[in-house]
Structure 1
């Protein structure tokens, strides 16, 4: 993806992140070489969008809005549809609204009201998806907001958004897994949101997060939890809310014990929230006949998933290394 490589070096140049740039470039080049039959369609979408005039990015809550004059809305719509499904967002282009599956502004408000300002901070967003939150971090003044997500589609979606922005917004997404990142303690704030329960080895994930944190840095951890005492975790036999790769949902006290074992300090729960259809919903932008939260819950009792497990509840914890 030429657009990605054109923007790569300027993002890392002359910053604390430059120490990891070569390794990140090698890992990214390898990721983009993976065979995927959708790549020609995605490349075509990016090429089209990159020809449009650039615009100002603003927050028009709940939307990240790009005011791009003289853009052919019909052509932009066609290009964006080539990048379905849009999970994270929502976004707005002039007056056109792209309603993603997740209404990310709700989560970001719960987080931003409780964290230290990100102004002039180096920030890592692990499992960034298409970069909605990474962009929010940059818009709040982060010196560098780096997101990582191995799914190529999300990287293409981010490039589609970023290529429409005419501003020095310091945000970048790389197609890299956390375990493949060079372990350098250079980030002032590290976010792991919606990632921990997908890990076969939760302690390895926590240790890898810690390895990226500068002295005194903050970890903002958001994950699924269940009710229970210290030591209790739900380990689904098959699926959880129709997701295959959910390995372990701890109680909050169990999660705290994991963080203590990983030598994190000042552990503070800042939010506990049961996921609602207002926040995660089916929209045309996740594809025709695609499923979302309402399809993952017991139709007779929304307190349970379709498999009979407790319905999704998420906790946000802040701690330090």
Structure 2
């Protein structure tokens, strides 16, 4: 996949940094991780499957193939948990924890057209949205995701696609990308609240954007009635690494302070069990959103904080 990425970069604004990104990715894949043999075995098995045509058949990213369902299921379950999706591969429905199509529905009609654009998907997981960006006509859709398991998931799905696809995922963090104006559209979805320094994250996003490029920022927020922001003392909805939850007004002020312009709040949606749910594709830990909420009041988390609600802002550099 890295060779194909390097070849495809030549015709894009990433050509000057492609070698650097490829070398960093190779280093990331060479870490000492005891799970890699299992993940590589699963990938090897999947790569023996007959590939098919890629399409989007909501809610699924679908691959039209006559693959053996039982064998493919065994292989892909070695790569659990599957958080982002869902996918349909032939007759196999891979129902991930998240219904990514619901978020995409909230985003897609507010975007500038992605056709012919160089697009970045930050913290992309297994690349579900990266595929959708490619299907929307991106010249190249690059996802960066430091968690190696999700990279193996992406490669497994990608190996099942028959025709060349302009979607790639590299095992990198945003801060490893050169601070150069490389991208026409940048997505940061479900990432900001995991950042200890939110100002730095916004600056790093701006640093890789071309002039007048578009940012799509989706993150957890609170209603203004709860104050300007909440800084969880310990966990939030049982997540350990949630640093702060701003109101939409506070988040807008952060974007303004970072230098973004034409800032628009386009959506606020409460997370429901329809969108985030436990399935048999998430492995032994079968808890999901319904387990993270107060059983007596679903407007509160199990810790007594406001229940997850997400906002989408779109703005320009």
Q: By the TM > 0.5 criterion, same fold?
A: yes
Matched with 2:148 is: 152
Check conservation: 2:98, 2:275, Cα contact below 8 A. yes
Matched with 1:269 is: 265
Deviation at 1:167, TM superposition (A): 1.4
Secondary structure of 1:19's aligned partner: coil
What is the rounded CA distance, in whole Å, between the counterparts of 1:130 and 1:174 in structure 2?
10
Q: Does 1:180 align with 2:176?
A: yes
Check conservation: 1:281, 1:294, Cα contact below 8 A. yes
Matched with 1:320 is: 316
- In the alignment, structure 2 segments of 5+ residues that lack a partner are none
TM-score (norm 2): 0.97
- In the alignment, structure 1 segments of 5+ residues that lack a partner are none
What is the rounded CA distance, in whole Å, between the counterparts of 1:43 and 1:299 in structure 2?
40
Task: Report matched runs for 1:52-71 at 5 Å.
Answer: 52-69=49-66, 71=67
What is the rounded CA distance, in whole Å, between the counterparts of 1:81 and 1:231 in structure 2?
43
- Which range moves more in the overlay, 181-190 or 261-270? 181-190
Matched with 1:91 is: 87
Match of 1:301 among 291, 297, 302: 297
Task: Report matched runs for 1:1-321 at 5 Å.
Answer: 4-69=1-66, 71-228=67-224, 232-321=228-317
Check conservation: 2:12, 2:118, Cα contact below 8 A. no
Structure 1 segments of 4 or more deviating over 3 A? none
What is the rounded CA distance, in whole Å, between the counterparts of 1:94 and 1:198 in structure 2?
35
TM-score (norm 1): 0.96
Check conservation: 2:60, 2:88, Cα contact below 8 A. yes
Check conservation: 1:150, 1:177, Cα contact below 8 A. yes
What is the rounded CA distance, in whole Å, between the counterparts of 2:293 and 2:302 in structure 1?
5
